[in-house]
Amino acid sequence: MTNGFNGTIFRVNLSSSRVSKEHPDPVFYRRYLGGWGFIAYYLLNETKPHIDPLGPDNKLIIAPGVLTGAPIACSGRGAIGAKSPLTGGFGAAEGGGFFCAELKHAGCDGIIVEGQSKRPIYLWIHDGALDICPADALWGLDTGDTLDRIREEQESPRARAAMIGGAGEKLARIACIMDGEKDAYGRNGMGAVMGSKRLKAVAARGTLGIQVADREKLRYYARKLANDLKETPSQLHLWGTGGDLTSSVESGNLPTRNFRDGEFPSPKRISSMYWKEHGELIGMEGCYACTIRCKKVVKISEPWEVDPRYGGPEYETEAALGSNCGIEDEKALFKGNELCNRYGLDTIQTGAAIAFAMECYENGLLSSSDTGGLDLRFGNGEAMVAMVKLIGTREGLGDLLADGVKRAAATIGKGADQYAVHVKGQEVPMHEPRLKRALGVGYAVSPTGADHVHNFHDTAITSEDSLGIFRSLGLLEPLPLEDLGPRKVQALFYRQHFVTMLNSIGFCWFYCFQPNVTTFEVTDITRAVTGWDTTTYELMTAGKRMLTMARMYNLREGFTAQDDWLPPRFFHATTSGPLKDTPVDPDQLRTAIHTYYEMMGWDKETGVPSTTTLHQLDIGWTTKHLP
């Protein structure tokens, strides 16, 4: 065992039931870190171009980072990746919770799953060993029952698991992988990849712990974070994300009725402050070792029974299943969230798919015969809940929506593509690019399709008080919200590198929400865990390396600069509200994308990285994939 990692990656071939261990050298860990770095490395090196994402040749890479599982708050994250069945390109989903930390404590730095099992199985990792176990009795169970059965079978009540529900089993391309019952590796359809391999779950229990270089320094930062929580303006520990959505309506940032409209009458009902006031928010929980505790737990008994073991809606879910579907009823929102977690469905993509179908229905592109008699209009909470069930079971219209809005629009035809809000096939998250202009650029150029996490939110640097950690990234002055010039693109450029690095080391961005945090703290924590003489420059360069490797994978799969674009919806203003006069300007967007390409060291017109850039990033071996 080395500081921060174990030196062991498991390789599991499900076609032959062969399990082996690999022991990368320390340079491999320092160059690629984990997370996105491992995923991109193995996809580029070990998969052939143009494979079927749901075939045996795809590889599922489970990748904690070098900080994952360390005794410090925000170290519970990891990533799971493969060729995406949703976009056909680089696929990665990040998640918190406990599973990846438990995997590290069990002596494992990652798992490469290849081939395809003939029968349902699950993997059991325990203190340096990996067993392939039959899962015939688990196939068809929801996530909560699956976890219960694995713990019972392994006589390990503290085991953690990454698993799929019925949606992944049925190869829904918007299916996610659940970490327990509450946390999701949500984007890019990784649940469908697990389902295609007949891999029901990967479970772990470890008692080996993580060796760190400077435990006392980690204790210092743990105490600092606990004290800072009392001062943080985000108050995530009180009601999580989406505490009060009234301000989001006032700014125009709350997506409403499939990103079409700009006014939503009852944002308080779908805000967690309201739930707490009315006794529906019954607790707050956290990920591994985390004192922030931003995870909501809700419970109601009517008109639906909602089991608190499935947590509660985060902001993305509040907007996706709530305002974006025109729904004001928080109880329908709670039930929709619970069902998504049971079935293993990404709530962003599920809400977006239902909102798309609602707009098609209201415009006559879908009829009641298509919906099975559901009155699928915006605002109908009962119809939304029913549609989540249909998507999770792939029945009726749900079978079409389970593969995402891009494919659904192509099947429906009749101009339905104008209502399909996606980038590269992945549905747009619940943040408005007509308000946040650089965010829109980030959506367009993201290698995974539209994503809000490895992105930049323009509202973060509009005042001196809000600059926070961005100062230590070199952003020394506030920038106007409406600006999309080179300085704003530079802000996106730096922030992408930083957050992609966090996705690789396995560290949560919410740590950086605390007062007076700088990039140095993340660097110092990384030093304390690993013992490396690393710098912020090295870590930021690693973030750029991961983004560029993902770009190289997409280029190999046939993506071009034409794919770096926004859906038609955003080139029109909202029908009302604060953004009724502010559509995205396509010329301004194109100029910003070209500026971004040049900052990345990519060709201004084609977005292809130069050989010099690839060598500068120490990934010259990827030049063989240049188009």
Q: What are 60-83's pLDDT values in tens digits?
A: 999 999 999 999 999 999 999 999
Of 312, 273, 276, whose CA–CA distance to 296 is shortest?
Answer: 312
- Considering the domain architecture, whether residues 72 and 199 belong to the same structural domain is answered as yes
The rounded distance, in Å, linking the Cα atoms of 336 and 351 is 9
Please provide the average confidence, as pLDDT, over all residues in the chain.
96
pLDDT interval class at 233 (50, 70, 90): low
The rounded distance, in Å, linking the Cα atoms of 308 and 228 is 29
- Considering the domain architecture, whether residues 35 and 73 belong to the same structural domain is answered as yes
The rounded distance, in Å, linking the Cα atoms of 185 and 142 is 16
The model carries a pTM of 0.97
Query: Quick check: is 99 in a domain?
Result: yes
- Considering the domain architecture, whether residues 485 and 414 belong to the same structural domain is answered as no
Query: Quick check: is 1 in a domain?
Result: no
Say what the pLDDT of residue 227 is.
81
- Considering the domain architecture, whether residues 313 and 377 belong to the same structural domain is answered as yes
The CATH number of the domain where 43 resides is what? 3.60.9.10
pLDDT interval class at 410 (50, 70, 90): very high
- Considering the domain architecture, whether residues 617 and 517 belong to the same structural domain is answered as yes
The CATH number of the domain where 505 resides is what? 1.10.599.10
Q: Quote the domain boundaries for residue 473.
A: 437-625
Cis check: omega of the bond before 308, within 30 degrees of 0 = no
Query: Average pLDDT for residues 53-58, to the nearest whole number?
Result: 98
Q: H or E stretch including 377? A: none
| Least confident among 163-172, 229-238, 373-382, 437-446 | 229-238
Say what the pLDDT of residue 30 is.
98
Structural domains of the chain, count = 3
- DSSP-derived 3-state class of residue 191: helix
Provide the percentage of residues in the chain whose pLDDT is more than 90. 92
| Helix intervals (H) in 23-69 | 26-32, 35-46
- DSSP-derived 3-state class of residue 604: coil
Query: Average pLDDT for residues 220-236, to the nearest whole number?
Result: 79
Of 613, 565, 567, whose CA–CA distance to 592 is shortest?
Answer: 565
- Considering the domain architecture, whether residues 381 and 252 belong to the same structural domain is answered as yes
Of 122, 90, 295, whose CA–CA distance to 195 is shortest?
Answer: 122
Say what the pLDDT of residue 2 is.
87
Provide the edge-to-edge strand list for the sheet that holds 129-134: 129-134, 121-126, 199-205, 160-163, 177-179, 183-185
Instruction: Name residue, tokens 């659940």.
Output: 178
Other C-beta atoms within 10 Å of 494: how many?
21
